[in-house]
Amino acid sequence: MAPLAGYTCYPFRMMVRELGAALSYTEMVSCNALKYKDKATQTLLFTTEQETPKAVQILGEDSRVMAEMCRVEILEGYDIIDINMGCPVPNVIKSGEGCALMGDLHRASKIIKACAGGKRPVTVKFRTGLTESNMITAEFAKMCEDSGAAMITIHGRSRNMMYQGEPYYEQIQQAKAVVQIPVIANGGIYSVEDAEKMMKETGADGIMIGRYALENPYIFSELTNTPIKKSRLTLLQEQLALCNCYYDESFTLAYMKKITSYFMKKQIGTKRYKAELFQCGNCEEITMVLEKIFNNT
C-alpha cells in the first residue's frame, strides 16, 4: 500500500494488511516538522506492536536534517525508512522536496547516503522524471542503488503527468534492468489484470497500489487470494473503533468522512447520503449514517 497523505494512518494500514497487503507505509512525514516536534506529525506516526513490519516515509531536502531525523526516538520503532522523491504537489516541488530532487541527482544521492548510514534499510520512491520529454528513470534508479538504497518504488508517470495517463512501463523495465535491488512498480493499477500487465511489462519484483485502494481496499485480497468475508460496513465500523481507541474525536470525524466518501464511490444509491455524512458532528452520528449508507445499498 502506497503512502497517501491524509489516509494511511494506523487504522487504514492495519485494514489493508488484513486484506492482504504485504506492507503499508505511513503518510508522508516532513523532516522539518519532525525537527520541531510538530504535534500533528507525531500523530501521523502512531503505531503499535501489532503492526509489523513498520514502514515510514519521510520528506525533505536537507541531507543533514533528514539523517538526524532518521535517528529520532519516534522513528526508532520503524523497520524501514522510505524517502519521498516522487511527490508532484506544487508546494512540495517549490520547497525542493519530493519529485524536485529528480532534477538534482547529486543532492538526491547525498540525501540517500546520509539516511542509509544506519542499521535499517532505506528505500526510495520516485517517478520517471520531471517531464515526459526528460525521462531519467534508469539513471535515477542506478543512482539510488549506488547511494545505498535497499529497494526502489517507481511511479510510472512523470511529475507533469501527476496522477493521470498510462504509466510508462518501459521506463520501469529499463530501471529494473540496471539495478540488482528489488524494484516495485506503481501507477495505473485498478484491477488484477492491470497488476498482471504491470508485472509482465516491467519485470518488477512487486507492485504498489495507490489511490484505487481507497475506494476498493479489497484489491489486496483479490491480488493475493486472501479470503475476506467482511462487508464495507464492517470494515468501516472497525476503522471507526480503531480511531476511537487511539485518536481524538476531531481526527476520527475528519478521517471517517474522507474514507467513507471513497468507499461510497461507484456504489449505487449512496450519493444521497453524502451531505448527511459531512454534517455528522460526533461518532454516534457517523455510526448511524454508516448503517444507513451500507445497509440500504
Rounded to whole angstroms, the Cα distance separating 81 from 101 reads 17
DSSP 189-200: --SHHHHHHHHH
Q: Smallest Cα–Cα separation from 155: which of 170, 167, 166?
A: 167
Q: Smallest Cα–Cα separation from 147: which of 130, 127, 124?
A: 124
Rounded to whole angstroms, the Cα distance separating 128 from 95 reads 20
Choose, from 9, 70, 87, 144, the residue flagged as catalytic: 87
Rounded to whole angstroms, the Cα distance separating 203 from 221 reads 22
Q: Smallest Cα–Cα separation from 158: which of 143, 137, 173?
A: 137
Rounded to whole angstroms, the Cα distance separating 194 from 188 reads 7
Helix (H) or strand (E) holding 281: none
Rounded to whole angstroms, the Cα distance separating 191 from 294 reads 23
Residue 121 near residue 80 (C-beta atoms within 8 A): yes
Residue 20 near residue 223 (C-beta atoms within 8 A): yes
Active site residue 87: yes
By three-state DSSP, how is residue 85 classified? strand
Among all residues, which ones are annotated catalytic?
87
